[in-house]
């Protein structure tokens, strides 16, 4: 056995810390990260649906709600630009959901 000058208690404590850190990284990689990604995409989809319902005129689809929701535009201006880019870049809603749930 190697003796690095530490007591058995110290070596066990060090090993337990290493195992705890490894298990945390494993859990994060296998469970937390994919879940966060799905939740973020789902929240983005809900936001996109809301903005589309409010501002369908931006894509040439007449909507009576746009007249009333135009007052929201100053509050949503920053999000509106990013949303408009996302909507133009997206192939379709079904394509997005297929990517999200790994359906090809």
Instruction: Tell me what pLDDT residue 3 has.
Output: 61
pLDDT at 103 over 80: no
pTM: 0.55
Residue 2: pLDDT band (50, 70, 90) is: low
Lowest mean pLDDT segment, chosen from 14-23, 45-54, 82-91: 82-91
Write the CA distances from 55 to 17, 40, 65, integer angstroms: 53, 22, 8
What is d(CA 82, CA 31) in angstroms, rounded to the nearest whole number? 29
| Residues in Cβ contact with 86 at an 8 Å cutoff, skipping those fewer than 6 apart | 44, 48
Residue for token pair 């990260």: 33
Find how far residue 63's CA is from the centre of its chain.
29
Mean pLDDT for the chain overall: 81
Residue 40 above 60 pLDDT? yes
């Amino acid at each position: 056995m190697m003796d690095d000058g530490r007591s058995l208690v110290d070596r066990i404590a060090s090993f337990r810390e290493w195992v705890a850190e490894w298990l945390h990284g494993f859990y994060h990689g296998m469970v937390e990260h994919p879940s966060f990604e799905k939740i973020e995409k789902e929240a983005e989809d809900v936001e996109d649906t809301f903005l589309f319902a409010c501002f369908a005129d931006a894509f040439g689809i007449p909507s009576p709600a746009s007249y009333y929701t135009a007052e929201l535009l100053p509050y949503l201006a920053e999000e509106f630009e990013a949303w408009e880019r996302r909507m133009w870049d997206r192939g379709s809603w079904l394509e997005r959901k297929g990517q999200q749930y790994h359906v090809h």
